[in-house]
A and B are shown apart, each in its own frame.
Chain A
Amino acid sequence: MTSSAITYNRLKDKFFYWYGLVCTLSGVFILAVFLYTILVEGADRLNMQFFTSLPSRRPSNAGILVPLLGTLWIMVLTTFIAVPIGVAAAIYLEEYGKKNWFASFIEVNTANLAGVPSILYGLLALEIFVRIMGLGRSLLSGALTLSLLILPIVIVSTREALKSVPKTIREASYALGATKWKTIWNAVLPSAAGGILTGVILAISRAIGETAPLVVIGAMLYITTVPTHPLDDFSVLPIQIYNWLSRPQKGFIENATAAIIVLLAITFLLNGIAIYLRNKWQSKVKW
């Protein structure tokens, strides 16, 4: 190879470094532009009236009380439904059914479910929860829909957390005479708790940002009463945002922007907690 070819190759290498840096920073730049835009357009609208008002046909009177409470309700209900089932399923797959055909079938199935578009969960829920089970367009229907949606995420992240618990912990527990379940409950789960919690929080943050399946089950009514019961009709922040965005008046767009700030604040808060927990757990636990 001639020396000019070597110089040329080194130059190409340098060029790619800068190209890579620009690509990566453009992601950061776009994020900054997006956040700046919504803060500039929506921050003025964030006052007490906006948080405490019911929906209205006049943009300046409208508020997010109903969808905000709806989102909080959904968050709590979804956690209570999806977490026990998801963690239990993960324990079964990871600790019990490692080699049989049933477990491997469920594994293919879970991987598949994780890729099913969210809107199809809406079609499932519309038929099963809203019609056949007769739950209507209630908070409970919505929470069940989102629970099914995030179940694969909870299962996968819990399995990862269980996998990272070393064998020695289990063996120590068995050596003390503990049964399989006692070992899981007293030794494995506490060691995996940080990882499980991180995964669960990320899954919940995904659930509260979902719009499409809830639109399908019909949660986009004009609701003027605060939800107080799991069987009440509801709206959530993303749906309110979509609703306001699809109206022509400028005032509603401004409302949508302000609601986006609130939704992003909740999402980032949850993600922040999850990242903090992950780092803390990773640095504390050294096997």
Chain B
Amino acid sequence: MWREKIIERLLQLSALISVLTTLGILYVLISESLGFFKEVSVVEFLTDTQWTPLFTEKHYGILPLLSGTLLTSFIAILVSVPVGLTIAIFLNEYAPKKLRKVLKPVLEVLAAIPTVVYGYFALMVITPFLQMFIPNLSGFNALSPGIVMGIMIIPLIASLSEDALYAIPYSLREASYGMGATKLQTVFRVLIPSASSGIIVSIILAISRAFGETMIVAIAAGQQPNFTFNPLIPIETITTYIVQVSLGDVVQGSIEYKTIYAAGIALFVLTFILNNISYFIRKKYQKYQL
């Protein structure tokens, strides 16, 4: 019997590693950024509109990085939500079985492409293409990585929303058809309202994913912290700032070095809130599932 007990303890220990990872992330982010906030006030961090820790005249305002993150994510959501949701509805309600069997794996391929490859597409394919229509679009901008990020997120929204639609009992559709409704009316008046929590979860997770996306923006957005919502000029996001500093020769322990942890904690807080909201919606929705 002691053997069984030891095995159970070992398994438990493995499960504990995920908790240790969370604690580790929290510990590292908090301890390093405490050093940062000793030298820079929280008020300055949250309200200064310039972010220039690597220049001689230093400003430590997160707003430019935040605006860059919000801007690219907003563009990505604008692209991915309508398209992803339409794909989910089409595949689940309209598409013949055979077509669905072919198209689903293709979308899975889109989800499997590494982000650095998407970055290449943003820089080498989408930006030159957009410049044909928008002549004053600079070579590095927020628009092109935003769009490509949106394309990357489409499979995520499509597959999560599809699961939500799939879970709706068939009787609801039959009741609606029985009333003489068309498929489209059934989709918009019965299915989407019934699957709304699942769809909302997919959108929240997509936003969280967009906030944390790094390589596409690092390659195609230009790494210049501008406090702007103009999608045509270079910007920098929280994630790409961390990459920029990691690539440079910043001395460990210096204030410049600590800035990446301050930026990291801002990113962590943003995504943590979104992830928890989606988790609790999902839990609640499971309880009330039809």
- Interface set of A (CB-CB < 8 Å, partner B): 1, 9-10, 12-13, 16-17, 19-21, 23-24, 26-28, 30-31, 33-34, 37-38, 41, 84-86, 88-89, 91-93, 96-97, 102-103, 105-106, 108-113, 115-124, 127-128, 148, 151-152, 155, 179-181, 202, 205, 208-212, 215-216, 218, 220, 238, 241-242, 245-246, 253, 256-257, 260, 263-264, 267-268, 271, 275
Distance of B278 from chain A, by nearest CB (Å): 8
Tell whether B178 is near chain A: CB-to-CB under 8 Å.
no
Distance of A161 from chain B, by nearest CB (Å): 16
Assess whether A124 is in contact with B24, with CB atoms less than 8 Å apart.
Answer: yes
24 residue pairs A–B, Cβ–Cβ below 8 Å: A12-B182, A24-B103, A27-B151, A88-B15, A97-B12, A106-B18, A112-B22, A116-B275, A117-B271, A119-B214, A120-B212, A120-B264, A120-B267, A123-B29, A124-B25, A151-B21, A155-B18, A211-B116, A212-B215, A242-B116, A242-B215, A242-B219, A271-B109, A271-B112
Query: B271 to chain A: which residues have CB within 8 Å?
Result: 115-117
Tell whether B19 is near chain A: CB-to-CB under 8 Å.
yes
- Interface set of B (CB-CB < 8 Å, partner A): 3-4, 7-8, 10-12, 14-19, 21-22, 24-25, 28-29, 32, 83, 86-87, 89-91, 94-95, 103, 105-110, 112-117, 119-121, 123-125, 151, 154-155, 180, 182-185, 187, 205, 208-209, 211-215, 218-219, 239, 242-243, 246-247, 260-261, 264, 267-268, 271-272, 274-276, 278-279
Assess whether A211 is in contact with B115, with CB atoms less than 8 Å apart.
Answer: yes
Given contacts A31-B110, A112-B275, A241-B120, contact A117 B267 (CB under 8 A): yes
Query: B279 to chain A: which residues have CB within 8 Å?
Result: 108, 111-112
Query: A92 to chain B: which residues have CB within 8 Å?
Result: 8, 11-12, 14-15
Bound Cα distance A256, B114 (Å)? 14
Query: A211 to chain B: which residues have CB within 8 Å?
Result: 114-116, 214-215
The chain B residue with its CB closest to the CB of A121 is B25
Query: B267 to chain A: which residues have CB within 8 Å?
Result: 117, 119-120
Distance of A76 from chain B, by nearest CB (Å): 19
Assess whether A9 is in contact with B117, with CB atoms less than 8 Å apart.
Answer: no
Assess whether A105 is in contact with B105, with CB atoms less than 8 Å apart.
Answer: no
Distance of B29 from chain A, by nearest CB (Å): 7
Bound Cα distance A103, B83 (Å)? 37
Considering residues B3, B11, B123, B243, which has the most beta carbons from chain A within 10 angstroms of its beta carbon? B11
Bound Cα distance A89, B12 (Å)? 7
Among the listed B12, B91, B113, B182, which residue makes an inter-chain contact with A267, where contact means beta carbons less than 8 Å apart? B113
Query: Chain B's interface: helix, strand, loop or mixed, by majority?
Result: helix
Bound Cα distance A220, B116 (Å)? 14
Assess whether B268 is in contact with A181, with CB atoms less than 8 Å apart.
Answer: no
Bound Cα distance A218, B279 (Å)? 33
Assess whether B89 is in contact with A20, with CB atoms less than 8 Å apart.
Answer: yes
Assess whether B4 is in contact with A253, with CB atoms less than 8 Å apart.
Answer: no
Distance of B165 from chain A, by nearest CB (Å): 13
Assess whether A85 is in contact with B22, with CB atoms less than 8 Å apart.
Answer: no
Assess whether A124 is in contact with B184, with CB atoms less than 8 Å apart.
Answer: no
Assess whether B114 is in contact with A117, with CB atoms less than 8 Å apart.
Answer: no
Bound Cα distance A233, B110 (Å)? 32
